[in-house]
């Protein structure tokens, strides 16, 4: 009788664990299934060399910055090298 009760309890515990696992699978989508919302900075040219420059000349160069993500990209600070 004790052995039958132990087996029955073990079966109930396994059934409860199975139900909880199935609920977790169906009601909590996994992280890899959710599309992450984040900005993604893309800079194709990160360095530019002006080579030799005459003293006192004004120089300029434009770097293209692209947001490849799906959230707003905020550039809060720029620091020249």
Quick one: pLDDT band at residue 60, thresholds 50, 70, 90?
A: very high
Q: Do residues 42 and 68 touch, judged by C-beta distance below 8 A?
A: yes
Q: Which domain holds residue 44?
A: 2-67
pLDDT tier, 5 (very low <50, low <70, confident <90, very high otherwise): confident
What is the predicted pLDDT for the residue at 16? 87
Q: Is residue 48 part of a domain?
A: yes
User: What pLDDT shows up at residue 20?
Assistant: 84
Closest CA to 60 of 51, 75, 52, 50: 50
Counting runs of H as helices and runs of E as strands, what totals does the chain give? 1, 2
Residue 62 located in a structural domain: yes
Examine residue 11 and state whether it is found in any structural domain, yes or no: yes
Q: Look at residue 24 and tell me if it is in a domain.
A: yes
Residue 27 maps to a domain: yes
Q: Is residue 7 part of a domain?
A: yes
**Domain tally, the chain:** 1
Instruction: Tell me whether residue 21 is in a domain.
Output: yes
| pLDDT tens digits for range 12-54 | 888 888 888 887 777 776 665 556 788 999 999 989 999 999 9
Asked, for residue 39, whether it belongs to a domain, the answer is: yes
What pLDDT does 13 receive? Answer: 87
């Amino acid at each position: 009788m004790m052995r039958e009760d132990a087996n029955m309890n073990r079966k109930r515990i396994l059934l409860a664990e199975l139900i909880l696992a199935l609920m977790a699978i169906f009601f909590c989508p996994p992280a890899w299934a959710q599309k992450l919302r984040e900005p993604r900075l893309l800079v194709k040219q990160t360095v530019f060399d002006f080579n030799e420059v005459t003293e006192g000349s004004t120089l300029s160069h434009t770097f293209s910055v692209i947001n490849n993500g799906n959230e707003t990209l905020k550039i809060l600070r720029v620091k020249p090298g």
